[in-house]
């Protein structure tokens, strides 16, 4: 069994500008906690191969996926299909889980 925890995960900044702590990264998928400070946003981008799910843990954010905008908050999950341009802006401090399959890769992150 492979167990990980946020307390031991080292934070790093992704290509889109969010700070994440990766919990798991296998050949098939990845799971990370992402954090944005109030007013901070990810740069609008898409992934050619990866499908993502954002699950909001705390706070609120304005999310745009492929031209559709909505505010998301704690307890909500959003599916982001491969190829869909997206970005999220934190209303206050925002924490969310990001699940990617196949796993997150800078090489699969493209800016519009």
CB-CB neighbours of 65 under 10 Å: 19
- Report the length, in residues, of the chain: 112
Q: What is the pLDDT of residue 112?
A: 78
Whether residue 52 is predicted with pLDDT greater than 90 in this model: the reply is: yes
Please state the rounded mean pLDDT for residues 3-24.
90
What is the domain class of 15-78+95-111 according to CATH? mainly beta
Average pLDDT over residues 32-58: 96
- Hey, where are the domains in the chain? 15-78+95-111
Q: Three-class SS of residue 32?
A: strand
pLDDT at position 14 over 90: no
DSSP state of 62: E
Mean pLDDT value across residues 9-16: 89
- pLDDT beyond 90 at 16: no
The arithmetic mean of pLDDT across residues 102-107, rounded, is 94
């Amino acid at each position: 069994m492979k167990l990980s925890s946020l307390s031991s995960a080292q934070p790093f900044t992704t290509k889109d500008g969010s700070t994440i702590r990766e919990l798991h990264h296998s050949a098939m998928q990845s799971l990370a906690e992402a954090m944005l400070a109030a007013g901070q946003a990810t740069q609008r981008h898409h992934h050619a191969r990866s499908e993502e799910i954002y699950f909001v843990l705390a706070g609120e954010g304005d999310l745009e996926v492929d031209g559709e905008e909505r505010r998301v908050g704690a307890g909500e999950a959003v599916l982001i299909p491969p190829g869909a341009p997206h970005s999220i802006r934190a209303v206050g401090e925002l924490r969310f889980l990001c699940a990617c399959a196949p796993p997150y890769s800078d090489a699969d992150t493209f800016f519009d």
